[in-house]
Structure 1
Amino acid sequence: MDTTDAVTGMMVSGYGRDAELEADRIGGELIAKAGYNPYAVIEMVQVLKDQELFEKSISGGRQTYHGLFATHPKNDKRLHEAVQVSYQYVPNETVEPIEDMWEMLDGLVYGDEAAEGIVKEQTFYNSSVRIVVTFPAAWSVTNTRTQVVGQAPGGGSKGEITIAQQTQVKGQDPAEYVKKTLKRDDVVSGESLKVNEFDAYIADLDVADGKLAVSMLAVVFKDGAVYFFKGSADPGADADAFRADFKATVATFRAMAKEDVAVANRQRIKVIEATPKDSYASLAKQSSIKRYPVETLRLLNADFPNGEPRPGDRIKTVQ
């Protein structure tokens, strides 16, 4: 069985290798026809290889990619042959780039903040879906890829509100979505309303069992998505105060404005000219990268795993 698995793995790996080389050849053709050096394909593949080696080093040696190159891509003969064919497509005259690459890179948004969103004080910003929500003053607010959580002073027992994104169902308004899709049969009272320009529904839920002092939900429709607000406070909390806080939080939901973008995308590429004193270790101390900053800066600058900036080099940092 082990032998069969090994042979199968070799066959699949070989097939994958041929397919990748074909893709690299086509990529080289396209780059050549655009007037650029086809050997940029090899440099691009080396970036992928460096990323693979980095991920493998932080995962305890576990293979994170199927490993196309047993050797350095720049020494891979078949890859060079595949790319060499592309040179016949390089035009006789090439057009100068409209803008300088380094100028275009400087200030470029970096990282996954756009996907996850960020929290500044009590306000949540997410530029990927272009929304802003503000929680009550003094609340603690955290976010993950899947939800935003706000807690009242004193903890979740005093009041907690979560926001999660769901998919809108065609033909349903917010009230119907709550009833038919969420299948909530515990709505005590609810109302349809507009939250800024967006259709919404907000409701009190049944708390007759005494496990909660108050429980509420709301849904807001925006751009084909549903933003589902769920809030509650434990017995002993001020139900009326929480109800007011919940409604106020929902009411802050709005589309992102131009001035919000700079706040929502704080991490940006900064291009600098290296000095004799610069090293990736020293630059990492000034960077906003939180995990593996030295290794990440090396990856960004094609110096992985052990390279260092040379005086006069233009170096990409993250601030």
Structure 2
Amino acid sequence: MYHRLIIFFIFAIALLNLGGCSVNPASGMPNLVFMSENKEIELGKELHEKILESTPVYQDEKLQAYVERIGQKLAKNGDRPELEYTFTIIDSPDINAFALPGGYIYVNRGLITYLDSEAQLAAVMAHEIGHVTARHSVKQDTARKSSSVVTVLSVLTTGSTMIGDVTDLWGTAAVMGYGRDMELEADSLGAEYLYNSGYNPNAMIEVIGVLKDQERFARRMARATGQKTATYHGVFATHPRNDERLQEAVGKASEHYKDQSGIDNRAEFREATEGVLYGINYNPKTLKAAQNNTYSHSKLGFSIDFPQGWQPENQRRQILSKAPDGHAQMSIQVDILRTPIAPDVYIREQLKVTALQQSEPFSQFGLIGHTGVVPASSSNPHPSRLAVLYQGRRVYIIKGVVFNDSGAPANEQEKGSPKTDDEKFLASIHSFRPSQTARKVSGKSQKIHYVKANDQTTFKRLAEVVPLGKFAEDQLRLLNGYYPRGEPSPGEWIKIIQ
């Protein structure tokens, strides 16, 4: 026993010398981690710069200032107020928010449109701040030397967990959630920060209810269309108001709140979000064509960013783009979806690919798709990256191939470049988007507007005049917090789309 104690203390001292033991600033408990705070901030800054280079930021000074003001107030009332926090609105219609190490917080424009008050927006950001203060990303082994910045960036901005090494759990966690215990801790901390900032902590439960309604609608859509669903923070099997652990996590701050007059600021939220874009933004300012080597097809109405230096060629049956030295190429072919099947089923049944490796569904810019690696075979001597994307009834088949016998091995890194060929293929695939040219024909971008309901207002009647397609009534209900049933009261402010 004595020798075991000696060994234990020697091991503990060694860990301390490595900087592996620290006190968690949020919980006050010791953490066994292998990343210093300086390294955490450095990694966050590096990733943030990459995101700004490759991801469109929503261009709305009024809304950005509003989000910044709320975020800084929450951060000052958190457990790491000394950090320099940065708050960014991502120009994406997807329902998502995430945090990077060191105080970088991101909220998608799409998520903001489904919220109803400043308190709910504050709850989203407080939750993400909770991930930062509790150092959840560090706990998930972010300091591994094998962690790839490109991999993490791709996972964060696209939601795809099969980019690069699938064992890079940190990037996956930042998008899909850190697991039930850490998500509950972030909710608990976020509720505390809400209370400290004068907001109603129950806004945290309201936001999770909004996300739960989105998940329920996505599952319904999946059953109707054969698609797979992806959820943001989908860690609660029951509705949040019936989840005992969540109620307990938020309850402590909520008890204190009962004696306070909290802030909802619905009027301020309406003013800040009036005119916010809904759905896909086709503003050409977000497309950095020259910098990103963008190819746009005017008739089909899409744009894609090919790797730098690759020259695209519009051939009769495909669009082909080759590396300058010819060692790799990407191709795009187009088909018509005749039967409503999921993209992965299309790959199996129509393309006859039955052995797809790293198989992964994804969604972007309002489109759904599936990607993976087709292994080499006797008929195809080179492995290839394959992706299928749906744009309405059009099917885009994107393939990236590296020719090993051309003198450049597969996944060889070019001099001075951090990306492998497969990472370049994926970056291009995830840049595929509907383009401005096609939108000019079909109309302008849609925006959120607020109106007051009258005694004749129902979501069914509104759905007949708003341009939201087959599921217009459901979308209006989700936007206004009435999914799946209920009607607005006369005089109530509601959102419509124009």
Q: What is the TM-score of this pair, normalised by structure 2?
A: 0.33
**Greater strand share, structure number:** 1
**Greater helix share, structure number:** 2
Greater relative CO (CA pairs within 8 A, separation 6+): 1
Q: What is the TM-score of this pair, normalised by structure 1?
A: 0.50
Larger Rg: 1
